[in-house]
Amino acid sequence: MYSAENYHWGLVGYYLGSVLLIMYAYRFRKILPGRHFRNLLVLLIAVVILVPIKAYIDSDFLAPAWFVSIFEGLTEESEQAYLRGLQPIMVCYLVAVVIYILWAFFGPRRAKEVSQEPAQGQEKKV
């Protein structure tokens, strides 16, 4: 069995690798059409990779929710086993989408570039 220190270093390594994977997905997001669609896809990738839950109900150790969902779905007999990891992923994704929509509507806007051409009837000062 791993010690708590080994577990924490493994978690740090997992999240560093996850950040690198998200940066890779963010860099190549321009391949997909539609600004909002690709941003939501990057959000989905980030949420699926980063959301943790307790690996076991009676344990204090965290594990990626997608892994717990797959593991319990394969090992448990009930059909509800996949939902243990899927529910936090869905909730976190919905929260991230709501924050993204609020940011899109109420966030800072880019100022339109002011044209350098003088208006009609005005001369350019030299």
Other CB atoms closer than 10 Å to residue 73's CB: what's the count? 17
For 37-56, the DSSP string reads HHHHHHHHHHHHHH-EEESS
| 57-98 per-position pLDDT tens digit | 788 888 888 888 888 888 877 777 778 888 999 999 999 999
Other CB atoms closer than 10 Å to residue 89's CB: what's the count? 20
Contacts 24+ apart (CB under 8 A), 17-20: 18/49, 18/50
| 1-29 per-position pLDDT tens digit | 678 788 888 888 999 999 998 888 888 77
Other CB atoms closer than 10 Å to residue 14's CB: what's the count? 17
* Residues in Cβ contact with 100 at an 8 Å cutoff, skipping those fewer than 6 apart: 39, 40, 43
Q: In the prediction, which pLDDT does 91 show?
A: 95
